Structure 1
Amino acid sequence: MFLVTANQMQEMDRETIESFGIPGLVLMENAGRGAFDMLIRKFKDNKINKVAVFAGRGNNGGDGFVIARYLMEKGIIVTIFLLSSKEKVAGDAKINMALAQKLCDRSQTCFIIEIPDGDAFQEQKASILLHDLFIDAIFGTGLNSDVRGFFKDAIELINSSTRPVFSVDIPSGLHSDTGQPLGIAVKADATATFAFAKAGHILYPGNRYAGDLEVIDIGIPDFIAQEKAINLFLIEKKKIAACFGTRKFQSHKGSYGHLLVIAGSTGKTGAASLCTNAAMRCGTGLVTLGIAKSLNQSIEPQVIEPMTHPLPETGKGFLSDNCFEEIMGLLKNRQALALGPGIGTREATKKLVLSLIEKSNVPIVIDADAINCISQNTNVLKKKKAPAILTPHPGEMARLCNLSTRDIQENRLKIASQFAKDHDVILVLKGAQTIICLTDGRSYICPTGNPGMASGGMGDVLTGMIAGFCAQGFSPENASLAGVYIHGMCADRLADDVGGFGFVARDMIPMIPKTIHRYLL
């Protein structure tokens, strides 16, 4: 599914009107009618006799006037609270305001009330609350500054009421590109958006403001969208399912790849176990775990099917940089490398990580401590010989970019995409709606997953899955997308079974083949 920015949507609107010749009034009518149809379906079980439409002076308000007109024709009492003077309404919105006014002049069930300032808003607060449902048509996708004044008061009133809320195109106050509230934003139960979903609908926290989202076809020709350089997508199940084929009857363990995992150190053997076992469960034919030799005996009972390879260490339980040549020898017969879960950040380990990233000739998934090991030397990524996939959480990403975690969370897509392009890597920025950014500028947002995943070890499982898919022959892009999507699906199945509290990373591992079988094959 395409996801577009505000500028891209504005450009497609303009081209549809100016180049293809579809009038803006037709697009607005299609939008309003489609939104009305969704509203009626969504709230069919609610007792709705009186609807309040909060309309701004722009095209979003114009859409609100169209919806109001259809509601009137259905016999519903409608009050349009115009958060402007009528004189400031222009263009297609002005035409639809005039049409609504004509209906109001002929009916006792329709009213347009001007609210040009804060005093007028205070006078109307009591009457606003007499309505059964609120329609938010104040601001559209073009808003890029904080909501202030009586607009803020209106949104506060909408959010504090118990009435169902229906937003037009995007909840007012929500940034269309980032999903961040601009000071304050409407918390909608449902949102009808037009032509394409916007990034802000999907990115956290925007998805928590939009409620149930539906995309309304308003008549923008397909070729106009296809000609645009749209590079943001929502991962869809059909794309992931297409990564899997039927296994040949005459095949063996060597047919499905051999993965090398370098993981674990004193106190962090669990990370090695989780990563290695997850790789096996996603269908990898063979997995070998390379671990500090003093830990080998204790880890073997935790990894039954995978093999282990004891490696030289410095200090008890920490890898030495002297094991570099030995690991490179192992890689000659491996198809992918998972590097980092629980390996620590000692100086010898840092040297080893830098050398492996630079010299590995197979796709490498860089996670956890390996990310921390390169945080002061990200230029090593530009020296690599093979594709690299980084899987940081926001804190690790902050260290990579020398920014605060807050900076990362407020600009996840922009920062992750730029890092991927600058360093020629696939960047998997974990979190609510994990983002996968590719080297060519394309980015994907993952819709699966839930807060139950907020516990230790989840990232180790993900690393094993992505690396396992790489070893099986998936492209690095497909391995990243499949790993993230299925990882979230497994968590969603667990949440359905046991709730969102208390499931742990090892609970995810047996869910991997079940999820693939049930939903993707």
Structure 2
Amino acid sequence: MIPLYSAQQIRDADNFAINSLGMPSIILMENAARSIYENVILNLSEKIEFKNVGILCGKGNNGGDGFATARHFLNNGYRVIIVSLGTEEELKGDALVNFRILSNIISFYPESKIIFYESVKDLSDLYTCDLIIDAMLGTGSRGELSEPYKSIVDKVNEIDCYKIAVDLPTGLDLEYAWGETIFNADLTITLAELKNGLFYSKGYKHSGEIVKGSIGIGKKYFEQLSVSEYLIEPEDAYFGIPQRELDDYKYSAGKVFVIAGSANLPGASFFTANSALKAGAGACFLAFPNSIKVLAQEKLEGAIVLPYNDNSKGYLSIDNCDEIREKIIWSDVTAIGPGLGREKETQEAVLKILSENKNTTFIIDADAIYALGNNNFKEISLKGKVLTPHHKEFASMLGVDLTKLNKEQMSIGKNFAIETGCYLVLKGAPTIIFTPEGDALINTTGNPGMAKFGSGDVLVGIIAGFLAQANNLEDALISAVYLHSLSADILLEEKTELGITPNDIMENFPNAIKFIRNSFIQSY
């Protein structure tokens, strides 16, 4: 796991360097500037050709980083256009020092210039640049952008060139990973350590590739800090892959029971049941309406249909609970919800099943999540269960506004998992796993091709298959989430994101396992 740090922890690191290590703040700024320059050269030298660099500099220390970075580009032969949002009289401290040095040096480079911003017309020279560096606002910025920043970001986002953010894209509130107007970075060079708000929600969308820059204090200081947010690494996925024994047989290799599907939504259940077997489960039963069982028999690839008497209704009702109870007890893991439908009788059945089987490892998805709404989740023990909603389903279940959830997903997700004792897999871009201990584990694989009906049903089946074989639920859950998305990433070698289907992800899943195994087998 790669730890992620809050903006406050990074600011505290600056204070530690200055007050405890005795490093002058101007040295920290110079270290940052050199690191920014070196990272730009390292990351762009093989991607684009550039000789013209635009730098947007704010009035604070982030702007000071920009002024100092401009000096390094000038000294190495680049044409640099600096747009300063502050006049010399408005700048202070280290930012002022670096501005004055830059003002003196730039006189030797007549093709480069400093422009003091007054209106968006002053951004016209940036259209001549091959790349633009955003050094306007740093980790102290909060809330929505005011003017002139909003107008500047809107205008610069229209310019067709490579864009780089220093520390974070201007307009991104790191505390919530949110903002309405945000600089669209292709690359973010985040200083000191990786910051949590860059990796989910609007940070994930606007930060582009993220690399770590340095202020010169090393790793030891950060290693002693307490964190609760992490990035999932390939190594984590490797160690969560179930291991087969030589004497395993179908019932010892993981037993999965899937309660899913209805006459109106039959397909989801097939994705879930088939994916459980693709993930290695030895046996899988699908509870399915008897009146349409022929559909399941045609679509299942090894899973067995357990038909229940639906009286030709085409959906699960509370009268069917006794019919399927034995298989719930039999299973190592029961997945419930995909395509079940939202009839009142079905919702009552879901609540009865969950309340009567407290010790069963359930994966609760889709229409079973819906059944937990209206505060029903407070009446049922979710301890040790896995919930897999997408954002809209989770917001509806909690009865909160979707925008509020999106903005506060980190705190809401953590609190829910802690209070209920469940594992919450909040599906999205990216998917985040919230643990009962209060950790948030951010998935690092996946692409827009997964945004299709059925992808989540495949994930539920993969999670069920892995958990049925697992000695450690959390390790298996992490691996299942990572590999599900990795399967989609591998498909990009042959397809575009537009052509990836849930069935493709399911069929390619064994290759994702093989890819990770082959990547690490030589090392362990």
Q: Same fold (TM over 0.5)?
A: yes
Residue type at the aligned position of 2:26: L
Indicate the SS of the match to 1:242: helix
Match of 1:51 in 2: 53
Q: Which residue of 1 aligns with 2:355?
A: 358
State the AA in 2 paired with 1:414: S
Equivalent positions of 1:36-435 (< 5 A) are 36-44=37-45, 46-104=48-106, 108=110, 111-115=113-117, 120-121=118-119, 124-181=122-179, 183-244=180-241, 246-313=243-310, 316-360=313-357, 361-380=359-378, 382-384=380-382, 387-435=384-432
Tell me by how many angstroms 1:275 deviates: 0.5
> 1:284 Cα deviation (Å)?
0.9
Q: Hey, what's the Cα distance between the residues in 1 that align with 2:501 and 2:279? A: 18
Please say if residues 452 and 501 of structure 2, whose CA atoms lie closer than 8 Å, have aligned partners that are also in contact. yes
- More off after superposition, 321-330 vs 453-462: 321-330
Give SS of 1:187's match.
Answer: coil
Aligned counterparts of 2:266 and 2:125: Cα–Cα separation in 1: 63
1:441 paired with 2:438, answer: yes
CA separation in 2, counterparts of 1:216 and 1:125?
A: 27
Aligned counterpart, 1:487: 484
SS of 1:345 mapped into structure 2: coil
CA contact (8 A) 2:53 2:80 kept: yes
Residue 197 of structure 1 aligns to a residue whose secondary structure is coil
Counterpart Cα distance in 1 of 2:172 and 2:137: 9
* Partner Cα separation in structure 2 for residue 341 and residue 280 of structure 1: 16
| 2: CA distance, partners of 1:165 / 1:395 | 32
- Per-residue displacement from partner, 1:405-427 (whole Å, max 9, x unpaired)? 33333333333223222322211
**Quick one: distance in 2 between partners of 1:212 and 1:299?**
43
Q: Within 1, Cα distance between the matches of 2:379 and 2:474?
A: 17
511 and 49 in structure 1: CA distance in 2 versus 1, 3 angstrom threshold: closer
Aligned pair in 2 of structure 1 residues 189, 87: CA closer, same or farther (>3 Å)? same
Contact 1:237 1:520 survives alignment (8 Å): no
Equivalents in 1 of 2:192, 2:496: separation in Å?
A: 35
Query: In structure 2, do the counterparts of structure 1 residues 328 and 19 end up closer, same or farther at CA, with 3 Å as the change threshold?
Result: farther
Matched to 2:156, the amino acid is: I
Change (3 A) 1:314 1:219: farther
Moved more, 308-317 or 143-152: 308-317
Q: Is the 8 A contact 1:176 1:199 kept in 2?
A: yes
Deviation at 1:72, TM superposition (A): 1.9
CA distance in 2, matches of 1:279, 1:299: 15
Measure, in 2, the Cα distance between the counterparts of 1:128 and 1:383.
58
Structure 1 vs Structure 2: percent identity of aligned residues? 31
For residues 366 and 195 of structure 1, do their structure 2 counterparts lie closer, same or farther at Cα, with a shift above 3 Å needed? Answer: same
Cα pair 2:342 2:367 within 8 Å, conserved? yes
What CA deviation, in whole Å up to 9, does each residue of 1:426-458 have, x standing for no partner? 111112211211122111222222222222222
Query: Corresponding residue for 2:11?
Result: 10
**Match for residue 34 of structure 2?**
33
Question: Residue 95 and residue 287 in structure 1: after superposition, are their counterparts in 2 closer, same or farther (change >3 A)?
Answer: same
Letter in 1 for 2:7: A
Q: What is the alpha-carbon distance in structure 2 between the residues aligned to residue 349 and residue 156 of structure 1?
A: 49
* Distance across 2 between alignment mates of 1:274 and 1:106: 66
What is the aligned residue count? Answer: 515
Question: Residues 417 and 73 from structure 1, CA distance in 2 versus in 1: closer, same or farther, beyond 3 angstroms?
Answer: same
| TM value normalised by structure 1 | 0.91
1:500 is displaced (CA, Å) by 1.9
2:226 & 2:352 partners in 1: Cα distance?
Answer: 37
CA positional deviation for 1:87: 2.7
Distance 2:12 2:273 in 1: 48
Residue 518 of structure 1: how far off its partner (Å) = 2.0
* 1:478 to partner: Cα distance: 2.5
User: Contact between 2:423 and 2:434, CA under 8 Å: does it hold in 1?
Assistant: yes
- For the 8 Å contact 2:291–2:312, the answer to whether it is kept is no
Partner of 2:262, secondary structure, is: coil
When structure 1 is superposed on structure 2, of 479-488 and 41-50 the one drifting more is 41-50
How far off its partner does 1:186 sit?
1.6
Deviations for 1:330-349, whole angstroms, at most 9, x for unmatched residues? 23332111111112223332
Compared CA separation, residues 488 and 245, structure 1 to 2 (3 A): closer
Say which SS state the counterpart of residue 501 (structure 1) adopts. Answer: helix
* Letter aligned with residue 9 of structure 1: I
Name structure 1 gaps, 5 residues minimum. Answer: none
Scaled by the length of structure 2, the TM-score of the pair is 0.91
* Aligned residue identity for 1:370: A
DSSP-derived class of the 2:100 partner: helix
Compared CA separation, residues 14 and 324, structure 1 to 2 (3 A): farther
Q: 1:315 to 1:375 in 2, by over 3 A?
A: farther
Opposite residue 334 of structure 1, the aligned amino acid is S
The CA distance in 2 between the partners of 1:126 and 1:479, in whole Å, is 53
Q: Which moved more, 1:474-483 or 1:138-147?
A: 474-483
Structure 1 CA distance, aligned partners of 2:253 and 2:297?
A: 23
Q: What residue identity is the alignment partner of 2:388?
A: T
* Aligned residue type for 2:54: A
- Secondary structure of the residue aligned to 1:383 is coil
Query: Offset of 1:206 from its aligned partner?
Result: 2.7
Q: CA deviation at 1:314?
A: 5.4
Note closer, same or farther for the CA distance 1:316–1:164 as it changes in structure 2 (3 Å cut).
Answer: closer
| Secondary structure at the counterpart of residue 498 of structure 2 | coil
Contact 1:494–1:503 (CA under 8 A) maintained in structure 2: yes
1:282 shift after superposition: 0.3
Question: 1:135 aligns to what SS in structure 2?
Answer: strand
Q: 1:342 to 1:157 in 2, by over 3 A?
A: closer
Any stretches of 5+ residues in structure 2 without a counterpart?
519-524
Cα distance 1:245–1:219, how it changes in 2: closer, same or farther (>3 A)? farther
How far apart, CA to CA, are the structure 2 residues paired with 1:305 and 1:445?
33
1:458 aligns with 2:455: yes
- Whole-Å Cα distance in 1 between the matches of residues 467 and 49 of structure 2? 53
AA partner of residue 11 (structure 1): D
Partners of 1:22 and 1:283 lie apart in 2 by 55
